[in-house]
Chains A and B, each alone.
Chain A
């Protein structure tokens, strides 16, 4: 009963993706006061990590000017007025005050890899090096009991202060036994609940952690779900995409450092600064969409001329993300720039409903749990045929009946 009522309330209070980029001087003045106060408090606390952004930048051969350029870009990305740039820079310097516990569940570590493996790291990525990463399976030297001990210690020391970053989905099938961790075979679900319990906020990174992602794709053998389906009563920030863009992870953590709060979220708990706009509306190939110029086949003339990829299955028109603006790998490129359509990886159920290399209404892909457009079209055509046959039979019967009556 309560569940039903909750579902009903949720249905009618679903927030859209509307974003407000100008909230007026009063709002920004008070926000700046809050942030200044918060940063001053943070400055008083001891640095949890010895890394500082200045030393990291120096090691990479970047100067203060590069850093300030990044700060103004990050300020714009967070949809704040330019006057907030010094605060952003200060917050980046104080990043080493924020303890982070990064746990991995049913995942491929792709989000960690996306940050770690770039050969020319951006400042976004470098900042993630300076956060006080207390626990991370991929990076840490410790293993086994030592790692377990370390986790306990970190959770105890930074109780209520640390950010719990989660990568990977949570298998709920077979009582969660599809994924266990540690010597006591703790299930991923229990592991997540234990770490999330004492955290300041939970950041779900990547589509698996946010919506279940690929493991949750039909037929979802492990019963995989996202963090928000398991953790209740905690601030949860979803940063989907496969992999999540380091700029968005940094932006969210920056926002947390600045305000101690989660950024404004959309109806899927995604920060609006990153997921407020549609890929389609900022796509470099958009003019070709409007012109009706489409790639018809991989490698055809249209593909050589960078035509719109809509007919090759691009799902940009219904995907909200900033990759068309921020791009990946130091702004080098992004999927559509490289000639492949968007697969909607930052949307829920993307593997079943978005990721086909076919136009919206013409997919030949059928997921084991039921196809999408193809099913729609076949069903529709079937319905029309049935209606046509019905009408035909009725008409023929009517004519025959009329003849009989005439004979009599």
Chain B
């Protein structure tokens, strides 16, 4: 029995993956603090020496920006990647729909049935990742809406265009979520849970594939390739 090596992720794609993963952890840890400060600053220190909430907010906003920019890169790669173009797996063609259900059947039959080519990115995972990117877009819009509340003067360090653009791009989220700023916040909070659940399934599923398919899938995100039986 011999195995063929298949390249699945380029170096840049893998770096992007881990940047996103680390950003997400930081965003959740700091976001939970912002929602409910769960540890206390040293009370004896004067206020000027500690900047705990501000650090948390800074970290949260910085990783959010890194996150958003990397998502823009990913969105670009959806269509223009020279490697694998994920949008091709998202179009609901007959082949893609069939592949989606074939992979799903493989998962729920605990790998008893496997009727698809597992060497390339499949439709099931492509759709699953697409859901993640939609959740991220929603976090971006609701997050920036809350952020622009602090720029009420209409000015920012990088110019007036930035808050103006944020209002233009995100004000509708207030109406959509229920009409108050609190609703935007609640929606942001809810979506975090959806993202955590998404991460849990994602990690589990990739490990599960590695164990059951015996094709070294977990290496895709580390070494960049997996192996297919010839």
* A→B interface (CB under 8 Å): 10-12, 14-21, 267, 276-278, 280-281, 287-294, 296, 301-302, 310-311, 315, 317-318, 320, 344, 347-349, 353-354, 359-362, 372-373, 376-377, 379-381, 383-384, 387-388, 391, 394-395, 397-398, 401-402
**Contact code string B108-150 (vs A, CB < 8 Å = 1, else 0):** 0011100000000000000000000000000000000010111
Residue in contact with A391 in the complex, picked from B35, B51, B201, CB distance below 8 Å: B201
Kindly identify which residue among B47, B148, B178, B204 contacts A287, using a CB–CB cutoff of 8 Å: B47
Across the interface, A11 reaches (CB within 8 A) one of B164, B175, B208, namely B175
Looking at the assembled complex, report how far the CB atom of A351 sits from the nearest CB atom of chain B, in whole angstroms. 12
What are 19 A-B pairs with beta-carbon distances under 8 A?
Answer: A11-B175, A17-B149, A18-B167, A280-B150, A281-B150, A289-B53, A291-B54, A292-B51, A292-B54, A293-B41, A353-B182, A360-B185, A379-B190, A380-B192, A381-B193, A394-B204, A395-B204, A398-B211, A402-B110
**A322–chain B nearest beta-carbon distance, Å:** 11
A344 to chain B minimum Cβ distance, whole angstroms, is 7
A283 to B139, CA, bound (A): 27
Q: Is the CB of A15 within 8 A of B37?
A: no
Question: Is the beta-carbon distance between A277 and B152 smaller than 8 angstroms?
Answer: yes
From known contacts A287-B47, A293-B50, A296-B40, infer whether A373 and B150 are also in contact, taking CB-CB under 8 Å: no
- Inter-subunit contact B204/A318 (CB<8 Å): no
Is A391 within 8 A of B186, CB to CB? no
Find A18's partner among B56, B146, B164 (CB 8 Å cutoff).
B164
B1 within 8 A of A: no
From the candidates A287, A311, A353, name the one contacting B180 in the complex (CB within 8 A). A353
What's the least CB distance linking A268 to chain B, in Å?
9
Contact A19 B37 (CB under 8 A): no
Verify A16–B181 contact, CB threshold 8 A.
no
Cross-chain contact of A288 among B47, B56, B186 (Cβ < 8 A): B47
Q: Which residues of A contact B185 (CB under 8 A)?
A: 318, 360
Contact of B182 among A318, A359, A379 (CB under 8 A): A318
Q: Contact at B47–A362, with CB atoms within 8 Å?
A: no
Cβ-defined contact, A290 with B182, below 8 A: no
The minimal Cβ–Cβ distance linking B79 to chain A, given in whole angstroms, is 26
CA of A29 to CA of B175, assembled, Å: 36
User: With A and B bound together, what is the CA distance between A376 and B51 in angstroms?
Assistant: 28
Say which residue of B40, B148, B186, B189 sits within 8 Å of A294 (CB atoms).
B40
Q: Is the CB of A290 within 8 A of B53?
A: yes
The secondary-structure label for the interface of chain A is: helix
The reply on B153 being an interface residue by CB < 8 A is yes
Which 10 pairs of residues, A with B, have the shortest CB-CB distance?
A: A292-B52, A380-B193, A361-B35, A16-B167, A361-B36, A290-B54, A292-B41, A291-B47, A318-B181, A353-B182
For B182, the chain A residues whose CB sits under 8 A away are 315, 318, 344, 347, 349, 353-354, 372
Closest to A385 in B: B197
B102 CB within 8 Å of chain A: no
State the Cβ distance, B183 to closest chain A Cβ, in Å: 7
Cβ–Cβ contact B174 & A267, under 8 A = yes
Q: Tell me whether A320 and B32 are in contact (CB under 8 A).
A: no
A372 engages B200 (CB within 8 Å): no
Q: Is the CB of A398 within 8 A of B36?
A: no
Name B162-213 residues within 8 Å CB distance of A: 163-164, 167, 171-172, 174-176, 178-183, 185-186, 189-190, 192-194, 196-197, 200-201, 204, 208, 211-212
Q: How close is B209's CB to chain A, nearest CB, in angstroms?
A: 11
